[in-house]
Amino acid sequence: MSEHPQMTAYLAEARWFAGKGLEYDVVDVRRVGTLPGPPTVTIDIITVAYAGAAGAEPTTERYQMPLSHYSEEQGRIGHAYIGPHYDEDLGDVHSYDAVHDRDAMAVYLDTFVKTPPEQPVPYGGLTFHRVGGYELDADAHSTLFKGEQSNSSVAFGGDSLMKVFRKVTPGRNPDIEIHRALTEADNPNVAHLYGWIEAGEDDLAMLQQFLRTASDGWDLALSSARNLFAEADLHADEVGGDFAGDAHRLGVAVSEVHAVLREHFATEPFDGAAAAEAMRRRLVTAAASVTSLADHREELEQVFARIGDAKGEAQRVHGDLHLGQTLRTSKGWKLVDFEGEPAKPLTERQLPDSPWRDVAGMLRSFDYAAQSVVKDLYDNDDPGSQITYRANEWIQRNRAAFLDGYVEGRVESGGGPLSADEQALIDAYEADKAVYEVLYEARNRPTWLDIPLGAIERIGASPK
């Protein structure tokens, strides 16, 4: 029997909880902060333990649970009800997941408003930080975003957005760290950071510019691909929804962000041999599970080996870049979510890496955009040679446009054109990403395996 049955039960239904489907238990609840409100808002860090193999120590994860408390039930937020219980500090209360509670979110916003820029202020065990002199709208109502998976994001009117980090790891969250550097550099390719909240060594939330009228890059790419397939007699560059101009501008934006990160964070020589070996190990692990991937192992190992002597610098990067991490606004492209790959430990996400990882991630995303439209339109049917040709035409056009934009932006910031070493790095990082995709699709969408396998065949067959 769990010592915290209400919290254990609530986690099972939470979108952001990574342990759904696993055997787990809440083994500790530690209060790190209290905001007096009203309503009273508390922030607890809960420790979840997962059952390990026989004889092995259980693994643990820590999650943040902000709670709002009332003496009576609140029907308006019944969907976020944790339950009635006795709280040592508050007595008998009814508790709710606070991100769903507009009154509780107003308490957060009011505390940010009261925090002077560049003068961190402690409030009830928490420390609030403000960046710059942006004046927040103190009367803005909150709206919780519904679709997010790993965190909880709350918009305050059309003014600002607060991201609550659900999974908590001690240390500076890269999303805050990188956004702060780009904000202080006045880089136009991100939503500016307005502030953040921490408790001891844990970063709990960040407040940033809300790009209210922005369009999701992934959705725009899907729309472009659909337009192409709807026009049977036109090529990708003739369709009204041609995406290549946007892809080019996105490449420039990514290049500009990389340039700022090189200026504000330490760089180090890129270790091609170590990167190649890490890719090879991931391949071996994945090939042991997916037979169709094992058939390409020799060619992929050759692709990875070609970066063993690659020269260049490792630097801070986005770490998990794809079209879904981009927003197009009237003032250009914005990159979002600089946390890196959520599954990696924080210490790994903070390490310098090759900027070509980000480039390769975006190139893979163009492939998935067009191919996913084909899957949606034809489902179990063969799309035929014409649709397959047109999808590949769209992919190649936008990949080339993005890469041209990236190289153009790099030249403008003092870099040079693409070298042979850099093309080898792009191929290797693309192949490494495709290996991950094969493993994911084999476990979740076997009918989509042909998408990453097609990329692996293309990269493995490229000139040596």
Residue 74 amino acid letter: Q
- For residue 238, pLDDT over 90 is answered with no
Q: How confident is the model over 177-188, as a mean pLDDT? A: 95
**CB-based contact 457:296 (threshold 8 Å):** yes
Proportion of the chain above pLDDT 70, given as a percent: 94
| pTM (predicted TM-score) | 0.89
- For residue 2, the model assigns a pLDDT of 62
**CB-based contact 59:49 (threshold 8 Å):** yes
Q: Is 36 helix (H, G, I), strand (E, B) or coil?
A: coil
pLDDT range class, residue 232, cuts 50, 70, 90: low
Return the closest-CA partner of residue 37 out of 74, 69, 82. Answer: 69
105-209: CATH architecture: 2-Layer Sandwich (3.30)
Alpha-carbon distance 164 to 197, whole Å? Answer: 9
Q: In this predicted model, what pLDDT tens digit does every residue of 279-316 receive, in sequence order? A: 999 999 999 999 889 899 999 999 999 999 998 899 99
User: What does the domain layout of the chain look like in residue ranges?
Assistant: 5-98, 105-209, 215-317+352-460
Protein fold of 215-317+352-460: Aminoglycoside 3'-phosphotransferase; Chain: A, domain 2 (3.90.1200)
Residue 284 CB neighbours (<10 A): 13
- For residue 237, the model assigns a pLDDT of 64
Q: In this predicted model, what pLDDT tens digit does every residue of 409-432 receive, in sequence order? A: 887 767 778 899 999 999 999 999
Residue 249 amino acid letter: R
Q: Is 314 helix (H, G, I), strand (E, B) or coil?
A: strand
Taking the alpha carbons at both ends of the chain, their separation in whole angstroms is 60
- For residue 348, the model assigns a pLDDT of 87
Alpha-carbon distance 262 to 256, whole Å? Answer: 10
Q: Is 276 exposed, middle or buried (0-12, 13-18, 19+ CB in 10 A)?
A: buried
- For residue 148, the model assigns a pLDDT of 63
Element (H, E) at 329: strand 326-329
Q: How confident is the model over 440-458, as a mean pLDDT? A: 92
Mean predicted lDDT score pLDDT of the chain? 91
The torsion angle over the Cα atoms of residues 120, 122, 123 and 128, rounded to 10 degrees, is 30
Q: How confident is the model over 341-362, as a mean pLDDT? A: 90
Which residue is associated with the tokens 């809960």?
A: 46
- For residue 433, pLDDT over 90 is answered with yes
86 backbone φψ class: left, alpha, beta (φ>0; ψ -120 to 50): beta
Contacts of 328 (CB under 8 A, 6+ apart): 214, 215, 217, 220, 246, 334
Beta bridge partners of 405: none
In sign, the C-alpha dihedral spanning 109, 114, 120, 125 is: negative
- For residue 187, pLDDT over 90 is answered with yes
**CB-based contact 268:313 (threshold 8 Å):** yes
Least confident of 120-124, 218-222, 309-313, 338-342: 338-342
Q: In this predicted model, what pLDDT tens digit does every residue of 323-335 receive, in sequence order? A: 999 999 999 999 9
- For residue 346, the model assigns a pLDDT of 84
Q: How confident is the model over 141-145, as a mean pLDDT? A: 93
Cis check for the bond before 117: say yes or no (omega within 30 of 0).
no
Least confident of 231-245, 265-279, 415-429: 231-245
Q: In this predicted model, what pLDDT tens digit does every residue of 65-103 receive, in sequence order? A: 999 999 999 999 999 999 999 998 899 999 999 999 999
Q: How confident is the model over 262-272, as a mean pLDDT? A: 95
